[in-house]
Amino acid sequence: MCCMPHPGVLILIMVVAVLAPLLAYWVGHRLPIPPAVFEITLGIVIGPDVLRWAHGDQLVDALSSLGLSMLIFLAGYEIEFAAIRGDTLRRAVGAWTVTLALSLGIAFALTGAQAGKSFVIGTALTSTALGAVLPILRDAGALGGRFATVVMAFGPVGEFGPIVAMSVRLGGRSPGRATAVLFAFALITVVAVIWALRPPPPWFPRVVTQTLHSSGQFTVLFVMLLLACMLGLSAAFGVDTLLGAFVAGLLTRLVLRRSAPDGGEAVLGKIEAMGFGFLVPIFFVVTGMQFDLDALLHGGRPLLLLPVFLLLFLLVRGGPAYLLAPSDFSRRDRGALALYCSTCLPLVVAVTTIGV
């Protein structure tokens, strides 16, 4: 069968998105598997390398990008700086720094000291896909405890350390200019945070309350405006849009905590429904559709390197996280933290695409 034109592709993607949680529910009695795993796997099945029923187009790719942005936005919203600062944050930064040193050394050994390839591989090995981890923690009901707090410290460092590295080294600018651009973006972000911490005008909480369950939906629209502004600012500065989405999540939490403490959870529920009920599943399904299965299965050496890199991700990214986890963590918690930190697919795709 030839590839389906949209809206057929979008309908098929939504069929897969509906099937994924059903499969996760049926299998979950014996083995708990997140719906995202089924979304990616079914995306591969319907994609160009297996059944060839669906392929990306402008509409699908745009929705997928929005899905990834929504994931990172929600990850930024979940950050509790009061809980992760201090020793936990120092351990997270230390673990990523050790990972960076190890990954660059291993990458140089694998590529014969080719600087360009080594930097791409080394950067990919340091990544943590917080956007993929967040739904798993949420489905397990583990977002409010100590373990989730530590993951939400280690995860962002592994998310945005590689993004900053990509912006500086792989973004097409000289390192000096790229650093200056990132500094300017950071300065604007600080100004935005200061604005978010200011007391809101008296009318703001009233409008939030009155429109929360009406057709106006002022607060949801305001949050979407924040996200759009930060994504637009990222594009204007030429930095990765994931950074803008993450900052938008931080700003949203600060604004809602100060201006709408009673309605914040309701607003977040509406945004989560928009994200996890529509955009995020599209991102995971399209990720599977774009997976180059043919190159993997018929590439010879890439197929042989697959288990090597799986092991490297676990050892290089997960190992330092295991060793530098908080001292009150049990072995089981350390092992789980290492596995979460080693989850990396979206950023690996981004790093390798820019590298190629």
Q: Which domains does the chain have, with CATH numbers?
A: 59-355 (1.20.1530.20)
| Residue 221 to residue 348: CA distance in whole angstroms | 32
Predicted local distance difference test score (pLDDT) of residue 92: 92
Q: Over pLDDT 90: what percentage of the chain?
A: 29
Predicted local distance difference test score (pLDDT) of residue 14: 95
Which of 63-72, 158-167, 168-177, 315-324 comes out lowest in average pLDDT? 168-177
As to burial, measured by CB atoms within 10 angstroms (0-12 exposed, 13-18 middle, 19+ buried), residue 203 is: exposed
Q: Over pLDDT 70: what percentage of the chain?
A: 90
User: What band does 168 get if pLDDT is binned at 50, 70 and 90?
Assistant: low
| Residue 271 to residue 268: CA distance in whole angstroms | 5
User: What band does 19 get if pLDDT is binned at 50, 70 and 90?
Assistant: very high
User: What band does 305 get if pLDDT is binned at 50, 70 and 90?
Assistant: confident
Q: What are the C-alpha distances in Å from 330 to residues 95, 177, 292, 323?
A: 17, 44, 38, 11
The whole-model pTM stands at 0.80
As to burial, measured by CB atoms within 10 angstroms (0-12 exposed, 13-18 middle, 19+ buried), residue 285 is: buried
Count Cβ atoms below 10 Å from residue 160 Cβ, excluding itself. Answer: 24
Checking if the pLDDT of 251 tops 60, the result is: yes
For 69-117, write each residue's pLDDT tens digit: 888 888 778 776 666 678 888 999 999 999 999 999 998 888 877 777 8
Helix or strand holding residue 262 (H, E): none
Highest mean pLDDT of the ranges 11-15, 262-266, 294-298, 341-345: 11-15
As to burial, measured by CB atoms within 10 angstroms (0-12 exposed, 13-18 middle, 19+ buried), residue 110 is: middle
Question: pLDDT: is 168 or 55 the higher one?
Answer: 55
For 334-344, write each residue's pLDDT tens digit: 999 999 999 88
Question: pLDDT: is 325 or 159 the higher one?
Answer: 325
